[in-house]
Chain A
Amino acid sequence: MTDPAPKLLCRDVWKIFGPNGAGVLRDLGPEAKASQFAARGHVAAVRSVDLAVNEGEIFVIMGLSGSGKSTLVRCLSRLIEPTSGEIWFHGQNLLAASEDEMRQLRRHKMGMVFQHFALLPHMSVLQNVAFPLEVQGVARAAREETARKMIALVGLDGRETALPRQLSGGQQQRVGIARSLAADPELWFLDEPFSALDPLIRREMQDEFMRLQSVLKKTIVFITHDFDEAIRLADKIAIMKDGAVVQQGTPEDIVLNPATDYVAEFTRAVPRAKVVRVASVMRPAGAEEPAATIAATAKIAEAAPLFLAETVLRVVGAQGETLGHLQRDDVVALMLGG
């Protein structure tokens, strides 16, 4: 596979809140501490962030509250004006785009899901989902047809005429998801979409989200404060602390090689077997010819039950070709090593 140009690229992005963010950043320089900004009445919410999001990838930005993740995602869509930096989307620097160009981009290329759903209280489910198209000036019949499809896609058919307040939290967020997809965006922002939901519903919505993504293949920037959620969903994770990205990589990278103690705090409790892929642990094919097979992209946790009967598994690629062998001892070592 060749490495494609990233869909969304963000270089040295800063956001300093305060009356003269750019001036203060120039004066203090990029190495300044938070307290130095605070002394001048400013807050550095996003500090020198570099990200590259590839097409069709789920890129999760994980951080605790106050880490700047929500500000960052709003900088990416310019809901909040970054203080400095570059954001490239489709070969265009968004920070140089005019108000009108931004509006067109948001209408046609971007969709967003909000933590507290942000449903318009005076509109029915159908009207809410059709709203982005209405804003674009799409005729009623056409926009309602699209909206009905989206509502069916998220499994809410039959509730079209309900008002937001008549729905449960999970249902409301389904409406929010349907709405964000109505204009068929290329870039899909989800800002803590499941944080306001109960744990059981959250789990269900995560599954639903993965199912949708397997069909839609959008380029996704997903914000969460829940490390387990990040591990579960992400192709790539960026961990933020105090406005800066402290580590980014695949979930496997991060769990196996936490860059700082801060990251290690999160990874400590994560069972390795659920993150590490078979391909990372396999050895070159040996002399024996095991009958049982496992996909190279599977997680170790999925391979483990097979060892009840076998001692060696054959690791296969997408076409069924043999890539290597997975030994029981290696798996046991990994699982017990914690």
Chain B
Amino acid sequence: MRAAVWAAVLGGFWAFAALAQPYMPWAFDWPKALVMPAAKWISAFTKWLLNDASFGLFTFQELTRWISAVVDVPYRFAMNLLSAGTAEVPPLSWLAVVILVALIGHRFGGMRLALLAGACFLFVAVFGQWTSAMITLASILIAVPIGVVGGVALGLAAYRWPWFARTITPVLDLMQTIPVFAYLVPILILFGFGPVAAVIATVIYAMPPMTRITQLSLQRVPQDLRDLGQMVGCSRRQLTWRVMMPSAKAGLMVGVNQVIMLSLNMVIIASMIGAGGLGFDVLAALRRLDFGAGLEAGFAIVALAIALDRISQAMAQERPVSIVARNAYVLAAFVTIGLAGLSAAIMPQLQTYPEAWQLSTGAFWSRVVEWINVNYFDTLEAVKNALLLNVLIPFKRFLIGLPWAGVAALLGLLGWRLQGMRLAMLVMVLVVLIASTGLWDKAMTTVYLCGLSVAVAMLIGLPIGVLAAERDSLWRWVRLAIDTLQTLPSFVYLMPAVMLFRVGDFTAMLAVVAYAIAPAIRYTALGLQGVDPRLIEAGRAMGCTNLQILTRIKLRLALPEIMLGLNQTIMFALSMLVITALVGTRDLGQEVYIALTKADSGRGLVAGLAVAFIAIIADRLIGAAAARARAGLGLGGGGDGT
């Protein structure tokens, strides 16, 4: 019955899309006269901020300059320490940094971590990426503390004052869905081009998750501990700093890890507004289509990412170390710096990693690509063209041809059925807003690339997740692989795809699939593993075959979790899609990218918001569907099992 209703609705929609164009052209192309000049408004507003805005005592521009100056001081210090040095004092030598990193690894994770972290940094030196890597590291060293402290402060405020939580929650939602490029533009305009602007962009990008995690971890502190604090008569400050924060520490450290990884990701992307470092090397290589150089810089980013990730994860687990040992580590660090400084004065090779000791694989990779192209060009080209002609382009044409009015109505109906009037209104308003900016075609291009990429990612990810969920040994490897994939900055994914398929939609799709597949696998596997074993036992007792247990019990019960995985996959895909503008897509991402190169903040933000709207629509609809599925299974009120 319900299926019949939906079939009728879809039929009506199809008929409308196919036949109504001659009669109702406004439903297909938003009338030019009615296009909302939101981009102009925003640009005018930025201009006003920059030129006229004043807080009485000081102008807005003075404020931004002051912020830049404040951030500049520690940044300069970190830069000098790691890379530039001053006239009198050279920077830390590569040997000193490698040993220091190994020491930190040893302090928090023992010998294994020391070796891993040291090896990662040595790798960077050996492959000649040292200078760039240290520039990147300096930005991270400055951005992470600011991001963590700011995030904790906001999270704490949101925990304490409910009205503050209500105010910032929608802002945080938007910040996490708006593509990173979009707010690079205003930052570029307000703070200029350079590493300090990049650090500020990084902080803004990495802070929302920390705020969220702080809020959550504080809420998760058991009520008993709060009562205890009250019972022993803690003052407000004592309750916060002696009871709540230490008890929430495990959660907060997860947040720190996130801030570090997000900062790394962003510092790489912010090379577009002058962050320099490894990101700039990748970007420059992409522009020259120099695969070898790009890949080498990419590997260095991977090494840096792995070292930072593992160290910050180990910090979260906190190996208990006696005070004596703690002091010994500090002492060892100073001795290292001193000795390395002295030895570098005698042997200059130990100061700056000598070129003679470097290995370059750039040429090798370029030859590999050349060889692949010589031998397999036709095959690769045939695969690419076949897919483009038979799948990608028809799907794109289909979506672009859809009337915005019909799409709004259809999605609204879906929202209404899934949750009710409020969701329906939200979805329809967002669709109309996208159309009203005159970006409908570009938005549909984004939906097409994102949709196909997500479909492919789910098609590959689901079976892997299903296989891995049943086999512990396989799951261990798969999890290591997807954990590592997720720590890699999004930029890195572009290189291999471009090497094989050059620029275009197909390349973009491959990069997006590679980036977005991790949540598809993870949520499927975790969902299946989370199915109540008693139900599986019951199925087995009834004589189900393995296949029946999988399809009739496990997949059914894991459905809500898998839907959340789908949701995450879409969010990942959208954030990556914007970055693939660099390899020549023609969607909203490209719009943002062009705005960035022209420093047009209005255009950039409007396109960015359109991407955010698409993300919000997908997120809310799938979230509602997952909630319904969960309620249908009776998993809702936490009453399962206990």
- The interface on chain B, measured as residues whose beta carbon lies within 8 A of the other chain's beta carbons, has a size of 18
The stretch that binds B, out of A9-17, A116-124, A198-206, is A116-124
A122 CA to B242 CA, complexed, in Å:
10
Asked whether A132 lies within 8 Å of B233 as measured between CB atoms, the reply is: yes
A163 at the interface (CB under 8 A from B): yes
CB of B225 within 8 Å of the partner chain: yes
Contact A136 B227 (CB under 8 A): no
- Whether, in the assembled complex, B247 has its beta carbon less than 8 Å from a beta carbon of chain A, the answer is yes
Q: Which residues of A contact B231 (CB under 8 A)?
A: 77, 79, 106, 110-112, 189
Partner of B233, one of A106, A114, A121, A189: A106
State whether the Cβ of B238 lies closer than 8 Å to any Cβ in chain A.
yes
Whether B232 pairs with A131 at a CB distance below 8 angstroms is yes
List of A residues within 8 angstroms of B233 by Cβ: 103-108, 132, 135-136
Q: Are A118 and B249 in contact (CB-based, < 8 A)?
A: no
Cross-chain contact of A118 among B227, B235, B238, B320 (Cβ < 8 A): B227
* A104 surroundings in chain B (CB, below 8 A): 233
Check if A135 sits within 8 Å of B234, measured CB to CB: yes
**Known: A135-B238, A163-B320. Is A79-B227 also a contact (CB below 8 A)?**
yes
* Inter-subunit contact B227/A107 (CB<8 Å): no
Distance, CA A104 to CA B234, complexed state (A): 10
User: Interface digits, A72-107 against B, CB 8 Å rule (1 contact, 0 not)?
Assistant: 001001010000000000000000000000011111
Taking a contact as CB atoms under 8 Å apart, the answer to whether B224 and A118 are in contact is yes
> Does B230 belong to the interface (CB within 8 Å)?
yes
For the complex, give the distance between the alpha carbons of A95 and B571 in Å: 51
In contact, A120 and B243 (Cβ under 8 angstroms)? yes
Q: Do the beta carbons of B230 and A79 come within 8 Å of each other? A: yes
Given known pairs A122-B249, A135-B238, A163-B320, the reply for A107 and B232 (CB within 8 Å) is yes
The answer to whether B246 touches A122 (Cβ under 8 A) is: yes
CA A118 to CA B232, docked complex, whole Å: 12
Chain A residue numbers with a CB within 8 Å of B38 are none
> Which label, helix, strand, loop or mixed, suits the secondary structure of the A interface?
mixed
B222 is an interface residue with CB less than 8 A from chain A? yes
A115 touches B225 (CB 8 A): no
A128 — nearest CB in chain B belongs to which residue?
B228
CA distance A168 to B238 in the complex (A): 28
A238 at the interface (CB under 8 A from B): no
- Name which of B228, B242, B249 has the most chain A CB atoms within 10 A of its CB: B228
Could you say which residues of chain A place their CB within 8 Å of the CB of B234? 103, 135
| Residue in B closest to A176 when the chains form the complex, CB atoms | B228
Chain A 207-245 per-residue mask, 1 if CB under 8 angstroms from chain B, else 0: 000000000000000000000000000000000000000
Q: Is B230's CB under 8 angstroms from A106's CB?
A: yes
Question: Which residues 202-239 of B sit at the A interface, judged by CB distance below 8 A?
Answer: 222, 224-225, 227-228, 230-235, 238
Cα distance, A183 to B232, chains bound together (Å): 9
A138-171 CB contact bits vs B (8 Å, 1 = yes)?
0000000000000000000000000100000000
Give the most central of B222, B225, B233: most A CB within 10 Å: B233
Q: Are B242 and A74 in contact (CB under 8 A)?
A: no
Distance of A105 Cα from B227 Cα, bound (Å): 15
Contact A106 B227, beta carbon cutoff 8 Å: no
Mark contacts of B154-176 with chain A using CB atoms, 8 A cut-off: 1 yes-contact digit, 0 otherwise.
00000000000000000000000
CB pair B228 A118 closer than 8 Å: yes
What residues on A are CB-neighbors of B320 within 8 Å? Answer: 163
- Cα separation A112 to B233 with both chains bound (whole Å): 11
User: How far apart are the CA atoms of A74 and B233 in the complex, in Å?
Assistant: 14
Interface residues of B in 35-65 (CB under 8 A from A): none
B242 to A115, Cβ gap below 8 A?
Answer: no
Interface residues of B in 365-382 (CB under 8 A from A): none
Q: Report the separation of the CA atoms of residues A77 and B231 in the bound assembly, to the nearest whole angstrom.
A: 8
User: With a CB–CB cut-off of 8 A, which chain B residues contact A111?
Assistant: 231
Take A106-B233, A111-B231, A131-B232 as given contacts and tell me if A116 and B222 are in contact as well, using a CB distance cutoff of 8 Å: yes
* B232–A135 touching, CB < 8 Å: yes
Q: Is the CB of A118 within 8 A of B230?
A: no
CB distance from B154 to the nearest CB of A (A): 23
**Most chain A beta-carbon neighbours within 10 Å: one of B224, B238, B246:** B224
- Provide the bound-state CA to CA distance between A136 and B238, in Å: 10
> How far, in angstroms, from A123 to B247 measured CA to CA in the complex?
10
A residues near B (Cβ < 8 Å) are: 74, 77, 79, 103-108, 110-112, 114-118, 120-123, 131-132, 134-136, 163, 183, 189
7 examples of A-B residue contacts, CB within 8 angstroms = A74-B227, A77-B230, A79-B227, A107-B233, A112-B231, A116-B224, A121-B246
Top 4 A-B residue pairs of the complex, sorted by shortest distance between their CB atoms: A107-B233, A118-B224, A132-B232, A106-B233
